[in-house]
A = this chain, B = another copy of it.
């Protein structure tokens, strides 16, 4: 389902800057050879699963108490691979 289809976003200079940083970070490590669309999408899924692992076997209430730093690290990977696929 496309939940956010109706949402309009204004010009996003910061996000373009962020993508530029990510590309620099990637190219410095020579990862661009691996970063085709299919594998980037797969990487997003795998990182999303690691994010979900923080909540597995936890109640909804206990899920709100997960370590915020771990949450941010997993989210950062989801964002990074998503931005590289834009």
Residue numbers of A with Cβ under 8 A of B are: 1-7, 9-10, 12-15, 17-18, 21-22, 25, 34, 36-39, 41-46, 48-60, 63-64, 66, 71-82, 85-86
Contact = CB atoms under 8 A, between A and B. Distances in A.
Given A41-B51, A54-B41, A55-B37, A18 B9 contact: yes
Given A15-B18, A46-B56, 7 more contacts: A3-B77, A7-B80, A34-B57, A36-B60, A37-B55, A43-B56, A45-B45
Q: What does DSSP make chain A's interface, helix, strand, loop or mixed?
A: helix
Contact of A73 (B5, B39, B63, B81): B5
A79 B7 CA distance: 12
